[in-house]
Structure 1
Amino acid sequence: MILAHSTSLSGAIVQPRLDYFRPDIEGLRAIAVVAVVLFHAEVPGIRGGYVGVDVFFVISGFLITGMLWREAGASGSVRLRSFYGARARRLLPASALVGVVTMVVSILVLPPLRVPTVLFDGIYSALYVGNYWFVLDHINYFNTLLVPSPFLHYWSLGVEEQFYLVWAPLVLGTTWIIRRFRRDRSRAVDASPRPYLVALGLVATVSFALSLVITYAVPSLAFFSLPTRAWQLAAGGLVALTAAHWRRLTPGSAAVSGWAGICMIVFGCFWFTSATPFPGTAALLPTLGAVLVIGSGCAIPSRGAGRFLGTARMRAIGRISYSWYLWHWPVLVLLPAALDRPLGLAERIIAVLLAAGLAWLTLRYVENPLRFAPAIRDYPWRSLGLGMVATVIAVATGFGLLRVVPIPVGRGAAVPPVAFTTPPAGTGIDAAVSQSLAEVHAALATSLGSRPVPSNLTPSLSEVAVQQGNFKYNGCLRTPYESGQPECAMGDTSSPTTVALIGDSHAAMWTPAFQEIALQRHWRLELLAKEACAITQTRAGGTLGRLIEDMQHCQQWRDQIVARLTAERPRLVIISVWRSYGVDEIASGFNSYDQAWFDGMTHLVRQLHDAGSQVLVLGPIPAPHQAVTICLSGHLGNAAACDLSRSAAVNQSGIAMEASATRAGGGQYVDVTDLFCTADRCPAIVGNTLVYLDTTHLSITYAQQLAPAIGALTDRAMAQSAPR
C-alpha cells in the first residue's frame, strides 16, 4: 500500500491508514517507463528519456522507506524475512524469466563472438551485480560502437536490489539507536521521523557529493553504482518521512507543484542528450521533478497532476511498467540481430509495442499469480525460496549456454597471405614509395567483393583477445591511471640512432611495423605511449574536464615525455594518436579535429622540431565505428558485409587540416588511408589477414605486413625535412 501520513489534532504523529492507495504513483511509473522505452526506441526528440530510471529510483525510495518506517514505528523492529521475501516474490521470477529467454535467443541470433560476453552479462544481472560488472567491463551506457548488450538495462535492477539490501538494515539500525539511547526503553518506539530524516539526509549528502565528483572522473561508475545513485532513492525516502508536511499544502500549491514536477521530468527527456554528464547535477532535474509529483500527491492524489496520472490508461501502463522495462530492451537489441539489419522508426515502435504485449502476459501469468498466491505470500521462507530458485535457474542457464557457444571459423577456402616486399637496395625513395603503394593497392582491390571469411584467417577470430593483450608491450603502453613512462627500447638497442614512437594506444598498434623497420635500418626504437591520453598539447576544457586529465596523469605524462624527448633529441619522433576523442568517447573533455586539436598538434610538432628532431605525424587509420571481429563472426559466409565505407570511415577534411597544422610546426605528415582503402571501400580482411582488431585498432598482423610501405613512407618524410 502507498500511504500518506497524518497528524492527530494535538499535533502528535500517528500511523496512517493502511488501506489508502496512490493511483497517481502508478501513473508516474507510466511516465517513467514510457520515457525510457521511447529513448531506447530512438524516437526523435526523446534524447534524454533515460531519466525515467531516475524517477523509478525516487518512487522506490518513497515506497520502501515509508513501509519500513511505519513497521519500525509500530513494532520497534523490521521483519527482514518478510521484507526480503516480498521483494523476491515481486521481482525475481519475472526478471529471471526474461533473462533466460534473452540468453537463449542471444545464442541463436547474435554473432558468436558477442555471445559469451552477453551470457556473462546475463549471469551477473541474474545475481543483481550487473551494474558493477558493466563498470569493470568499461561499458559506457551511451556507447554505440558495440552491439548493445540485451542485459544493459538490468543495471538499474542491480541498483534497486542493492538498495533493498542496504535500506532495511539502515532503518533497523536507526531504530536500534533510538531505543538504545532513549531513557525509557520499555516504551514502544514512536513514529517520529526526525532520527530517520537525519540518517537519510546524511546518505543523500554523501551520495550526491560522490555523484558530483565521480560523474566526471569515472563516468561509468557514477552512472551504474548504488553509492552515486543512493541520493535519489534517499530523496524519495525523505518525501515519505515528511509526508505530513506535504499534506499541508493548499490544493492550489499542490496542483502547481505536481504539474511543475511533471514538466521537469518531461523537459529532461527532451533537453538532455547522451553527451550530458550524468548523473552529476543534471540528475537533479528529474529527481526533484519526481519529488514534487509524489509530494504534491500526498495532499491531493486525485486532483491536479494526480487526476491525469490516475486515469485508467496511465494506471494500466504503470501496472505493466516493470515487465515492460524488462522486455523492451532485449526486443530492441535482438530483433535487428535476427533480421540482420537495423530497424526503422516504425519497426522500433512496433517492437516496443510487442514488448508491451509480452509485459502484459508476464504480469498476468507470472508476476501476479506468484505475487498474490497465499501459499507463497503468507510464508516468507517460501517467497525467499522462490526467488532463489528463479535466480539459480537463470544463472545455470547462462553457464550451460556458455558451454555450447560455437567457435567462429571461416567458411571459405584457405587464402594465401599477402606478402608486401621491401624495395631492393638502391631503389630511389619515390620509386620505393610507388612500388610499395602499388602492392598494397593491388591486395586491397582483390580483397573486395562478396567472399566468405577464409578458413586460415590470421589472426583467427578466436585469437583476437590474445593480440589485444599483446598491445601492452610489458607495460610500455601505460594504462589511464598509471603515471610515469618506463624505458622501452626495441630494434637495435645499441644503435646511436634513436627513433621515438609516441602517442596513445594508436602508437602502440604501429609498434610491430616499426620494430621491423628499426631492425632493418639499425634504429633504436623507443615506445612512449599512454592509453586514453592524446599526446597533443590539448588541454581538456572546464575545471571538471581537467580534473579527469589530472586523475589520469595525462598532462603530467605529456610534460614528462616532451621534456624527455627535448633532452634526448632522437633523430626522428613519430606521432600516432586516436582521432575519435569526443566522438566515440566523450569523457576526455576535448574533441579531435577542432581548432584546439590543430593548434595543439602544431605546438607539439614545433616543440620537438625546434629541439632538433625530425617529426613525422601518422594520419589516422579508417575508423570502423563497430567491432569488426564481432561482425565477421556473424557473417562467416560474406565478409563483405563487414567492409567499411571509405566516406564514413575517413574524415578527409580533418586529415587535410591536420596535415597543414603539422607542416606549420615544421613536421611531415603521412596520410595512411590508401594503405587500407580503395577509392570507396576499406576491406575488413586483406588476403587472409584480419585488418582491424576491435572497434578502433589495427591488428598486429596487418601492421607487420605494412612494414615495407610504412618504411618507404617514413624514408620519404625524413628526406623531405631536416632538423634545425
Structure 2
Amino acid sequence: MSTGNEATKTFRPEIQAIRAVAVGAVVVFHLWPNALPGGFVGVDLFFVVSGFLITGHLLREIDATGTVRLGQFWARRARRLLPASVAVLVAVSVATILLVPGENWRQFFREITASAFYGQNWLLASDSVDYLAAENLASPVQHFWSLSVEEQFYVVWPLLLLGVTIMAARRAVRVGGRASSPRRLALYALVAVTVASLAWSVLTTVLDPASAYFVTTTRAWEFGAGGLLALVAVPQSHEARTGLAARFMAAVQRAFASPQRRAIASYTGWALIAAALVLFDGQTPFPGFAALLPVIGVLLVIATGAPRSAWSPTRAMAARPVQFLGDISYSLYLWHWPLIVILAPLPLYRSMGAVGPVFILTVSLALAVLTKRFIEDPVRFSPGIKRLKLRYVGVAAATGMIGVLLIGVGSTTVLGVHEEASQAKIDTILETESDCLGASALSDSIEGCETTDLSDVLIPTPSTIKEDVPALLEEDCRTQTGGTELKTCTFGEEGSNYAVALVGDSHAAAWFPALKKIADERGWELDTYYKSNCPFNAVPMSKDDESCAEWNTEVNESLAKRDPYDLVIVSHKNDAPQDEVADVEAGFVESWQPLVDRGSEVVAIRDVPKMPADAMRCFPESGYDPTSCAPTEEQALKAVDPIVNAAEDLPGAATIDMNEYFCSDDVCPLVIGGVIVYRDSHHISATYSDTLAPYLEEKLLATINQAS
C-alpha cells in the first residue's frame, strides 16, 4: 500500500474494477432481476469507494495545508457530478412531458426536483411510510436516491474533518496528557460516526425497514468504513507514522506482506461481494448487518491493491473492458434507469420481448459514452473552467438545478390549466347528466344510460385521479402507518339521535364520501376512527402489527367509554393469505362482540374488486378506454372475504355487498358512468364513492330495518 499522492495511482485498477462491478450489478439487477437478485448492493460498493477516495483526498489536503478548503472541494464536486446529472434530469423532464401520462406528472416532477437538489432519498423515505404513496410508480429518477446520499456525504464529511482540524490546531482535545493531532482526532471522529451509524442502521432496518433503505443515517457507516481505510492507508506526517493509525497500518502490511497473501485477501474480498450479489434478494433485511458482507469485501479489495502475483485477480481487474466500464460507471448509472422506466411501458418496447433489455443496455452504454466524452470530461478537465472563481461555479451549479425546477413547475402549471378547462367541461356535464353519473349507470332503476354523452367523459381528469381521495384522509382524521394516536372526527349532525361510526383502514375510509352524503341527508352523526393500513381487528394482519394492535386497543377503549353507537360500519383490505383467513375472521368477531353486546348494529361491507397490475398499466396506454382493460370478476374479486364470514358468524352483525355496482356481465370496468372507479389498484376514487351514496343508503336501511 502506498502513501501520499501515489495512492491514487496505486489504487486505480481495483477502484475502477469495483466501480465496474458495482454499476454492472445494478444494471443487471434492474434489467434481469432474477439473474442477480442481490444486484442492489452495487450502490453500497460505490459508497465505500467514495468514503475511501474522498477521505484520502481531504487528509492529504490537511497534511499539506493544515486545513480543508471547503469552497474548492465543493467546486470540484460540482464540476465532477452536476453537468451529467443535470443533463439527465433535463432529458428525463422532456421525456416525461412527451411520453408519460399526465396522471404521473406531479409525482415524477416532484421527484425530479428532489433529485436536482439531492434530497431524493429523504423524499422516498417519507413516501415509503406514507400509505397514500404506497402505490406510486417507480419514477425515472428514483435511482437518484443513492446520488443524494453521496452528495449529502460530500457536504458533511469535509465539515467534520475541518472541525477536527480546527480542534487540533487549538489543542482543544487532549489524550494521555498531550494534544491530539488532526489524524488522531479524525480517527476518533470516524470511528464514532461509523459505529453509531452502523448501530442505527441495524436498529432501523428492524423497526422501519422501508425508510431504512433510503435514509443517509443508515448508510453513513459505509462511507465511514472507506474513510477509516483511507486514514490508515495514507499516513504522511511523522506524528501520523508513529501513531495509532501507523500501528494499524503496520499490522495490515504484515498481514499482506507477500503478494500471495494479498492475492488471497483480494480473492476473498471479491468472493464476499459475489456472495452478496447472488445470495441476497428483496427479502433480505437491508442495509443493517447484511451490508457488512459487501462492505468488508470492498475493503479487502482496496486494502490489498493490485497484487503482483501470477494467479492474483490483478490482470482481470486491469482488463480494458473492466477499466472502461468503471470509467463510464457514473454516466451509465445515470442513464440506465430512466430508460427502463420510460421505455418499458411503451408498446414498441414490449413487442421486443427478450431483446428489450438488451436494447436498453445498448442505448444506456452509448449515452454513457457520449455523456462522458462531451459533458463530464470537458467540464471536469477544462483549464478555463478550473480557473473560474468559486462564486461563478456556484452560480452555474445553482442555475442548472433551478433550471430543472422551472421545467417541472412550468409543466405542472400547464397541466393545471388543462385540468381547469377539463373541470369546467365536467361541471357542465354534471348539471345535465347527473342521473346517469357513476354508479347510477349500473342501477336497475335507471334506464338508457348507455346512450348518454357520459360515455366519452372521464371524471375526474386522469391527471388528478391520484388526488381524488376522501376528505377523511386529512391528517386530523387519520392515524398514519406506524402511528398509534387515536384520531376521531365528527361529521353530519353532531348530537343526533342516531349515531354512526366508521371504523377501519383505508378501504373502510373509501366509503366515507358516500356515508357523509347519507349522514348529511338523514341527519345522522357520523364519527370516524381511521388508521392507514390497519383494519378494526383484534389480530390485525398488517406489516405494521405493533402500532396497529395498540391503535385497536385505543379504539376499543374509546368505544367502551361512550354511549353505544346505533350503527358501526366496518370494511377492510382483503389481502390476508389463505392460511390466515380463519385468524382474521376470529379477530373481527372478537373486536365486534363488545359492540353487539352493548346494542350496536355492526355492518360489514365486503371489500371492493382489486384491479390487476396489467389492467392499471393498460388503462392509460389504451387512451383510458373504459372496457378494453377491464378484468373479469374472477380476476378482480376474491372468492372469500373474512369480514363477510365474520359477520355471518356473529349474531347482531350483518353484511353488505356493493360489488354489483363495480362489476356487470362478468366484467369490472375501470370507468362507470363517466367516472374513473379506481385511483390505484385497490382504492376507489372519492368521486365514485360519492355516486354510490343512494345505493349504499338503500342497503343500509334494509339491513337496519331487518335487524330491528
Normalised TM-score (structure 2)? 0.83
Superposed displacement of residue 593, structure 1:
5.5
What letter matches 1:560 in structure 2?
E
**Matched residue, 1:348:** 357
Give SS of 1:224's match. Answer: coil
**1:659 match: secondary structure:** helix
Between the two proteins, what is the percent identity of the paired residues?
Answer: 32
SS in 1 for 2:118: coil
Where 2:191 maps in the other structure, the secondary structure is helix
Separation in 2, partners of 1:701, 1:400:
28
Unmatched tracts of structure 1, length 5 or more = 7-13, 422-434, 583-590
Per-residue CA deviation, residues 57-115 of structure 1 (Å, 9 max, x unaligned), is 01101111111112212332223333222211111111111111111111000011212
- 2:379 paired with 1:367: no
- 1:603 and 2:622 are equivalent in the alignment: no
Q: Taking structure 1 as reference, are residues 596 and 195 closer, same or farther at Cα in structure 2, changes over 3 Å only?
A: farther
| Corresponding residue for residue 238 of structure 2 | none
Tell me which moved more, 215-224 or 189-198: 189-198
Between stretches 398-407 and 220-229, larger displacement belongs to: 398-407
- Structure 1 window deviating more from structure 2 (523-532 vs 405-414): it is 405-414
Given candidates 561, 565, 574, the residue that maps to 2:569 is: 574
Q: Structure 1 residues 247, 594: CA separation in 2 closer, same or farther (over 3 Å shift)?
A: farther
Amino acid at match of 1:224: F
Corresponding position of 2:254: 248
Report if the CA contact (8 A) 1:501-1:525 is conserved: yes
Q: Secondary structure in 2 aligned to 1:160?
A: helix
| 2:92 paired residue among 62, 77, 102 | 102
Establish whether residue 407 from structure 1 lines up as the match of residue 407 from structure 2: no
Please tell me the residue identity of whatever aligns with 2:669. Answer: P
Q: Kindly tell me: are residues 678 and 297 of structure 1, through their superposed partners in 2, closer, same or farther at Cα, counting changes over 3 Å?
A: farther
Question: Does the 8 A contact of 1:518 with 1:525 survive in 2?
Answer: yes
Change (3 A) 1:191 1:639: farther
Q: In the TM superposition, what is the alpha-carbon distance from 1:507 to its structure 2 partner? A: 1.9
CA distance in 1, matches of 2:468, 2:312: 61
Q: Which amino acid aligns with 1:672?
A: M
Whether 2:556 is the aligned partner of 1:556: answer no
Q: Which one of 438, 446, 456 corresponds to residue 454 of structure 1? A: 456
Taking a change above 3 Å as real, the CA distance of residues 437 and 238 of structure 1, as seen in their structure-2 partners, is same
CA-CA distance at 1:201 after TM superposition:
0.9
> Residues of 2 paired with 1:319 and 1:708: CA distance?
65
Alignment match, 1:691: 677
| 1:650 maps to 2:637 | yes
Letter aligned with residue 296 of structure 2: L
Q: Deviations over 1:421-478 (max 9, x none)?
A: 9xxxxxxxxxxxxx99972699999599xx99734x4334466466426233683333
Q: Give the Cα–Cα distance (whole angstroms) in 2 for the partners of residues 681 and 24 of structure 1.
A: 58
Q: Which has the higher contact order (CA 8 A, sep 6+)?
A: 1
Instruction: Work out whether 1:511 is the aligned partner of 2:512.
Output: yes
Whether the aligned pair in 1 keeps the contact of 2:263 and 2:309 (CA below 8 Å) is no
* Partner Cα distance (2:8, 2:692) in 1: 75
Which residue does the alignment assign to 2:196? 206
Q: 1:440 to 1:41 in 2, by over 3 A?
A: farther
How far has the Cα of 1:154 moved from its partner? 1.0
Question: Counterparts of 1:602 and 1:437 in 2: how far apart (Å)?
Answer: 35
Which is richer in helix?
Answer: 2
C-alpha contact 1:327 1:358 (8 A) present in aligned 2 = yes
Task: Indicate the residue corresponding to 1:335 in structure 2.
Answer: 343
Task: Report the alpha carbon displacement of residue 24 of structure 1 after superposing the two structures with TM.
Answer: 1.4
CA distance in 2, matches of 1:442, 1:691: 19
Structure-2 residue corresponding to 1:426: none
Secondary structure, counterpart of 2:557 in structure 1: helix
Q: 1:619 pairs with 590, 606, 615, which one? A: 606
In the alignment of these two chains, the number of paired residues is 674
Deviation at 1:338, TM superposition (A): 4.3
After the TM superposition, which residues 466-505 of structure 1 pair with which residues of structure 2 at under 5 Å, given as runs? 467-468=468-469, 470-472=471-473, 475-480=476-481, 483-485=484-486, 488-505=489-506
* 1:661 CA displacement: 4.0
2:286 corresponds to which residue?
Answer: 278
Separation of aligned partners in 2, 1:592 and 1:704 = 35
Q: 1:287 corresponds to which residue? A: 295
CA deviations on 1:475-497 (whole Å, 9 max, x unpaired) are 33333466544553444544444
Residue 601 of structure 2 aligns with an amino acid whose one-letter code is: Q
Residue equivalent to 1:69: 59
Amino acid at match of 2:564: R
Residue matched to 1:394 = 404
Partner Cα distance (1:436, 1:334) in 2: 37
SS at 1:574 equivalent: strand
In the alignment, does 2:27 pair up with 1:49?
Answer: no
Tell me by how many angstroms 1:171 deviates: 1.5
Letter in 1 for 2:382: A
Aligned counterpart in structure 2 of residue 134 of structure 1, from 115, 124, 131: 124
SS of corresponding position for 1:114: helix
- State the AA in 1 paired with 2:12: R
Residue number in structure 1 paired with 2:151: 161
Q: Deviations over 1:26-81 (max 9, x none)?
A: 11111111111122214324333211111110110111111111221233222333
Secondary structure of residue in 1 paired with 2:170 = helix
Aligned to 1:424: none
Residues 199 and 389 (structure 1), Cα distance of their counterparts in 2 relative to 1, 3 Å cut: same
Which one-letter code corresponds to 1:207 in the other structure? S
Per-residue CA distance 1:563-594 (angstroms, 9 max, x = gap): 33345333332211233589xxxxxxxx9965
Shift in CA distance, 570/596, structure 1 to aligned 2, threshold 3 Å: same
The residue number in structure 1 matching 2:334 is 326
User: Given the alignment, which residue of 298, 313, 334 partners 2:321?
Assistant: 313
Q: In structure 1, what is the Cα distance between the partners aligned to 2:635 and 2:305?
A: 51
Residues 444 and 678, structure 1, Cα contact 8 Å, conserved in 2: no
* Letter aligned with residue 659 of structure 1: V
Contact kept, 8 Å, 1:247 with 1:299, in 2: the verdict is no
Q: Is the 8 A contact 1:249 1:299 kept in 2?
A: no
Over 3 Å counting, the alpha-carbon distance change for 1:304 and 1:223 in structure 2 is same
Compute the displacement of 1:604 (Å). Answer: 2.2
2:690 equivalent in structure 1: 704
In the alignment, the residues of structure 1 paired with residue 310 and residue 180 of structure 2 have an alpha-carbon distance, to the nearest angstrom, of 30
Match of 1:34 among 6, 16, 24: 24
| Contact 2:441/2:672, CA 8 A, preserved across alignment | no
Residues 596-631 of structure 1: CA distance to partner in whole angstroms, max 9, x if unpaired?
434423432344434443322222112236699997
SS of the residue 2:290 aligns to: coil
Residue 360 of structure 1 aligns with an amino acid whose one-letter code is V
Q: Distance in 2 between matches of 1:366 and 1:533?
A: 50
Q: Match of 1:60?
A: 50
Instruction: Return closer, same or farther for 1:493/1:327 CA change in 2, 3 Å cut-off.
Output: same
1:86 and 2:76 equivalent? yes
Q: Is the 8 A contact 2:572 2:643 kept in 1?
A: no
CA separation in 1, counterparts of 2:579 and 2:517? 30
Report deviation, 1:561.
1.4
User: What displacement does 1:385 show?
Assistant: 5.6
Does structure 2 retain, via aligned residues, the 8 Å contact 1:328–1:351? yes
Between the aligned partners of 1:524 and 1:82, the Cα distance in structure 2 is 65
* Aligned counterpart, 2:224: 234
Q: Give the distance between the partners of 1:516 and 1:622, measured in 2 at CA.
A: 23
Kindly state the Cα deviation for residue 322 of structure 1 after the two structures are TM-superposed: 0.5
CA distance in 1, matches of 2:353, 2:336: 16
**Whole-angstrom CA distance in 2 between matches of 1:223 and 1:608:** 41
Tell me, what secondary structure is at the counterpart of 1:281? helix
Asked if the contact 1:571/1:614 (under 8 Å) is kept, the reply is yes
